[in-house]
Amino acid sequence: MNRTKESVPPSKGSIRRRLLLSLLLGASVLTVGVYFMILSVARQVAQESQDNVLSASAISILDSARYAGGEIIVDLPYSALSMLDSVSDERVFYAIRMEDEFLSGYRDLPEARPDADGRITFRSRPFLGEDVRIATLRRPLSTDVGRQFLQVSVAQTLTGQQQIVTRVSRTSFAVGVGVFALLVLLAGVIARSTIRPLDRLTASVSRRGPEDLRSVTAPVPSEMVPLVASLNRLMGRLKTSLERSEDFIAEAAHRVRTPLAIVRTKAEIIGRKSQDPHTRAAIDEMIHAIDESSRTAGQLLDHAMVTFRLDNLSMERIDLAQLTMNAVERAHPLSEIKGVSITTHSSAPAWIHGDPILLQNALQNLLDNAMKYAPTGTHVKLDIVVAEDTAILCITDDGPGFPQPEFEILTERFSRGPNAKDIVGSGLGLTIVREVMEAHRGEMETKNSSGGGACVRLSFPLA
């Protein structure tokens, strides 16, 4: 209903979505960080492995060098270069120099900056259109002219290293995607479990009816304790306010009806004793006003009761025909006083789900309206029919019918037609019926019968 929609505050984001996005952002950063860390370690390990092989090859060549007969003899060991070629299909280069004199190998092969302490040095440079890794090692050698340094540079292309890094990168990416998917699933579980106490609190409170204003005593996380404490204080104040309102309504009804009944009785006595036509007419007007006030007070109480029960319906499986018969029996004394006969007809069993108290109140209001407007000696008909999955109750009378200009506003509060000026009423009867039908997911249709009189059609979903 409209008041329920108005009570819903505007939504501003979702805690679950925020938490989930935060977890996913953290998972993304972690996954990307791990991916690049693995890639960096893979490059470092592949380079260290290649550097170790290049270093062993350079040492092997230097170990085979000797000075004899006035010249330097270097017998290139087969293992010195084959160990490089066996790692992968790489191209291998070398260069041997004595000080600044080129001895053998590739003359243009760049060299790593020699280390003064005699340690092997490495560098990566392009050579012959390919990127190569170069290892340079120098060692002193005694010659006829004194001590000189023999320098060996060994180089290998980086294709194999890049292939290894590429394979590791693909594997790391696949592992990263799997880990990220796992983290997404884990983040969803964490977000759901984190919000679950709030969902349980929401479900617990929403299942309560308006009269259930007990404090929430279930244990909640520490972050929710201030919220639950505030909610308990609010429900305590609301409970006190409702109790005061109920006491006030009951007391007000008693204090209004009792004096009105006394005044009406006194007015009737005075009217019987008075012989003055003007006095009797004034007393009749007074009695009419008293009846109007008493009727309004009763309808206000009925409307308050209906409003109170709408949010906490006591649903039962009800026989609509039996419910109608009970309403007719209650209206029988008034129908005899008015001289209006009431007939009922049901074509088939019609079982519905509903609150019997509210439905009885709605039928009572419709019968009361029909008998008020039906002339003496006429009759009111109640017909029940079943059409597919709907039970339909039609109430028709032989009265003047609904006024056409105000036809659509008669179900609004305190709205009455121009033909109701001399008839006791409050303008709440059709309002109560409309609200009861809306609460039962039914429909109410008001129209005038083709042969005269008003017709109210109530449609209920079948049970």
Residue 126 confidence (pLDDT): 92
Tokens read off for 123: 């560098």
Give the count of beta carbons closer than 10 Å to the beta carbon of residue 105: 19
Closest by CA position to 215, among listed 242, 230, 235, 238: 235
Closest by CA position to 365, among listed 375, 373, 376, 355: 373
pLDDT, one tens digit for every residue, the chain (463 residues): 444 444 566 767 778 888 888 888 888 888 888 888 888 888 888 888 888 888 888 888 888 888 877 788 887 776 666 666 555 567 889 899 888 888 888 999 988 887 767 789 999 999 988 889 999 998 888 877 778 888 999 998 888 778 888 888 888 888 888 888 888 888 888 888 888 888 888 888 877 765 667 888 888 888 888 888 998 888 888 778 767 776 776 676 667 667 777 877 888 788 788 778 888 788 877 877 777 677 666 666 666 666 666 656 678 899 999 999 988 888 888 788 778 888 888 877 889 988 888 888 888 888 888 887 778 888 888 999 988 889 999 988 887 777 666 556 566 655 555 455 555 455 677 888 888 888 888 888 888 877 778 888 899 988 7
Contact assessment for residue 104 and residue 74, using Cβ atoms and an 8 Å cutoff: yes
Inter-CA distances, 251 with 210, 256, 298, Å: 21, 8, 13
> What dihedral do alpha carbons 117, 123, 126, 131 form, nearest 10°?
140
Q: How many C-alpha atoms does 19 have within 13 Å on its Cβ side?
A: 14
Residue 434 confidence (pLDDT): 85
Residue 4 confidence (pLDDT): 42
Q: Which residues contact 52 (CB under 8 A, 6 or more apart)?
A: none
Tokens read off for 25: 């952002």
The DSSP result for 402-433, as a single string, is --STTGGGTTSTT---GGGTTS---S-HHHHH
Calpha distance 172→44 (Å, rounded):
15
- Domain 314-463 top-level CATH class: alpha beta
Calpha distance 245→253 (Å, rounded):
12
Inter-CA distances, 147 with 69, 96, 224, Å: 16, 17, 84
How does DSSP classify residue 85? H
Residue 452 confidence (pLDDT): 75
| Locus of tokens 């109210």 | 456
Residue 67 confidence (pLDDT): 80
Calpha distance 26→268 (Å, rounded):
85
Would you kindly state where each structural domain of the chain is located, as residue ranges?
13-207, 208-312, 314-463
Inter-CA distances, 362 with 306, 324, 340, 431, Å: 9, 11, 20, 9
Tokens read off for 133: 């890794």
Tokens read off for 99: 């000080």
Phi, psi of 406 (to 5 degrees): -100, 20
Residue 136 confidence (pLDDT): 92
Residue 134 confidence (pLDDT): 92
Residue 219 confidence (pLDDT): 85
